[in-house]
């Protein structure tokens, strides 16, 4: 199966143990020294329809991915998932 990284953005991430929906893939971390993907990032939940910002993003290590299907990504997150604040963007 040949796929493109851009296709991951349209896949929903679901925990296999709890069935909890973590959201859609929004970013990935890439190790340029080894030339491989390290983790996938899904955005945190919106607070009050996004007006009050968002919760921290979920960072899912590549080892926690169980299966990548045609429309979903199944992950195994038995311990707490690492969360990361979204960096502020510069408009200049």
Does position 15 have pLDDT exceeding 80, yes or no? yes
Sign (positive or negative) of CA dihedral 61, 63, 68, 73: negative
**pLDDT attached to residue 88:** 60
Q: 27-55 pLDDT, tens per residue?
A: 888 888 888 888 888 887 777 766 676 67
Residue 92, domain member (yes or no): no
* The model scores a pTM over 0.85: no
Residue 56, domain member (yes or no): yes
> SS in 3 state form for 33-65?
CCCEEEEEEECCCECCCCCCCECCEEEEEHHHE
Residue 74, domain member (yes or no): yes
Range of the domain at 73: 5-84
Does position 85 have pLDDT exceeding 80, yes or no? no
CA distance 87 to 35: 24
Q: 52-82 pLDDT, tens per residue?
A: 766 778 888 888 899 998 889 999 987 656 6
Domain CATH number, residue 44: 2.30.30.240
Q: How many domains are there within the chain? A: 1
């Amino acid at each position: 199966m040949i796929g493109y990284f851009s296709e991951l953005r349209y896949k929903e991430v679901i925990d296999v143990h709890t069935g909890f929906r973590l959201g859609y893939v929004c970013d990935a971390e890439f190790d340029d020294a080894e030339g491989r993907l390290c983790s996938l990032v899904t955005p945190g939940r919106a607070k009050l329809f996004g007006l009050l910002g968002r919760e921290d993003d979920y960072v899912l290590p590549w080892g926690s991915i169980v299966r990548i299907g045609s429309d979903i990504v199944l992950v195994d997150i038995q311990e707490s998932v690492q969360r990361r604040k979204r960096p502020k963007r510069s408009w200049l």
